[in-house]
Amino acid sequence: MAGEKSEQKLWGGRFTGETDPLMHLYNESLSYDQKMYDADLDNSKYYTEGLLKAGLLTEEELSEIHRGLEVIRCEWAADSFVEKDGDEDIHTANERRLGEIIGRHIAGKVHTGRSRNDQVATDMRIYCRKALTNLEKILTNLIGAILQRSETEIDALMPGYTHLQRAQPIRWSHWLNLYATYFVEDLKRLKQIKERLNVSPLGCGALAGHPYGIDREYIAGKLGFDGCIGNSLQAVSDRDFVVEILFWCSLFMNHISRFSEDLIIYSTAEFGFVKLSDAYSTGSSLMPQKKNPDSLELLRGKSGRVFGSLSGFMMSLKSIPSTYNKDMQEDKEPLFDALVTVEHSILISTGVISTLAINKQKMFGALTMDMLATDLADYLVRKGVPFRETHHISGEAVSQAEKLKLSGIDQLTVAQYKEIDARFGEDVVDVFDFEVSVERRTATGGTAKCAVLKQIKSLKEQL
C-alpha cells in the first residue's frame, strides 16, 4: 500500500513514510493553481511532440497522450474533473488523470526529462501571457470610453486644482485626458512585460538541462513563445516576470486610486461636478438621502490589496538561494489575486466613467475670478513687462480687491488698476473671461480646445 501511495507523487520513490496530513495541506496548491489547467495541458501536448521528435515516443503513443489530454481539458472546462488525494498541484492531478485514461505505462512517459520546476515555470508564463492579453483588451476599452467622453464634453469648463485648491480654469476633457494618458502609458508597459516574459523555460529539467537533446526551440515555437531562456539555472528559478506583473498591477492601481479619489471629491454635494449612476452607487442603511460612491471607494481601497501582493512576494523572493526552492510556490496566490483584482477594477472603472453624468453649470459655477490672476500677470507680459514683476503686480491686485471686500479682481475699476500700475489699459477688462483664459493655452499639452483635440488624436493613435 505504501508503494501504491508513493506512485501518486512524482517524487514518491525516495520516501517510505507517510506525509503528515497537515503537511499535505500546507504543501498543496491545486486549490488555486488549477486555473492553469489549460496552460499545463498545452505544455504537455507540445512537450510530448518534442519527445516524439527526439525519438522518445512513438506516433501511436503520442496520439493516445493527446487524446487523453483533450479528455482532461473537457473535464476541467465542464467542471467535472474529480480531484483525488495525492493531487498536490495541477501538474500532478493532470498526470494522474492521464494515467487513468490511457494507462500508466504510456502516461508515465510524458514526464521524461521534464521536471515540475520547468513545467510550472512554463505554465506560469503561458497563463500570464493570456491574462495580460485580456488586460490589454479591457484597458484599451477603458481608455476608449474616457476619450469618447473627452470628445463629446469638450466644451465643459471646470477648475483645475493644485494642493486641492482652485488654481486655473481647464476643460473637463483636459482632466479626462490626464487619466487617459496615465492609462495609455500603463498599456505600453503592459505590452513590454508581455514581450519580456514570452520566452520558454521548458526543456531545462530540474535545473541542469535536458539529458535527451530535446529541441527546445521547436517546443517553444509550438507554445507561442518567441524563444528559449538561455540558461537552465535561471529558467527554473526566475520569477522576475511575476514581480514585474505585480509591480505593473500596483502602479496601475495607484492611477486607478487617484482617478477614483478625484471622482469621489467631484461627486460630493460640495462640488457636485459629477453624479454616479445608480449601478455604481449604494445607499445608507440609516440615512435614506445618502448616495455613496462605493464603486470608487472600493477601487481606491483595493489598490492597497494589490500593493500588499507585490510587497509580500518580494519578501518571499528576496533571500532564496539558487535555483528552485519551494518558497516560489508563493508566487501564484498573490499573482492570481492581483490579476483578478485589476481585471475587475478596469471593468468597474469603465462602467463608472461610461455612465456618470456631469453638471456643466456646477463646474462652471465653481470658477472664480481670482483663478485669472495669472492671466492678469500674462496681460502685462504681453506688454513687455518681465513676468517676475507682473506676478508681483497681479498679487497687489488680488490684495487690493480683498482689502476693498470685492467679490473678485474683476470688480476693480480700470482707474484702480492704473493706480496699481500705469501700464494697465482699458483692455484689462478683457482678461476676465474663463473661455478666453482656457483658449490661450494652445501649446501642446494645454487646455485650449485645439490642444485637447490634439491630445485625443495622439492618444487614439497610441492605442
Catalytic residues: 163, 284
**Distance, C-alpha 140 to centroid of its chain:** 11
Element (H, E) at 244: helix 240-266
- Alpha-carbon Rg for the chain in angstroms: 31
**For residue 344, which amino acid is it?**
H
Cα torsion angle, 201, 206, 207, 208, sign: negative
**Distance, C-alpha 3 to centroid of its chain:** 47
Phi-psi bin for 79: left (phi > 0), alpha (psi -120 to 50), beta? left
In whole angstroms, give the CA distance from residue 268 to residue 166.
16
C-alpha cell read off for 189:
508597459
Element (H, E) at 175: helix 172-197
In whole angstroms, give the CA distance from residue 453 to residue 119.
49
**Distance, C-alpha 70 to centroid of its chain:** 32
For residue 202, which of 55, 65, 100, 50 has the smallest C-alpha distance? 50
Contact 235, 264 (CB under 8 A): no
In whole angstroms, give the CA distance from residue 147 to residue 177.
7
Strand partners, 275: 357
In whole angstroms, give the CA distance from residue 195 to residue 182.
20
Task: Tell me the DSSP string of 69-125.
Answer: HHHHHHHHHTT-----TT--SHHHHHHHHHHHHH-HHHHTTTTTT--HHHHHHHHHH
**Distance, C-alpha 406 to centroid of its chain:** 49
Q: Write the burial class of residue 367 (CB in 10 Å: 0-12 exposed, 13-18 middle, 19+ buried).
A: buried
Q: Write the burial class of residue 388 (CB in 10 Å: 0-12 exposed, 13-18 middle, 19+ buried).
A: exposed
Q: Which residue is associated with the grid cell 531545462? A: 204
Strands (E) located in 202-331: 274-275
- Name the CA dihedral angle for 93, 110, 8, 77, rounded to a multiple of 10 degrees: 10
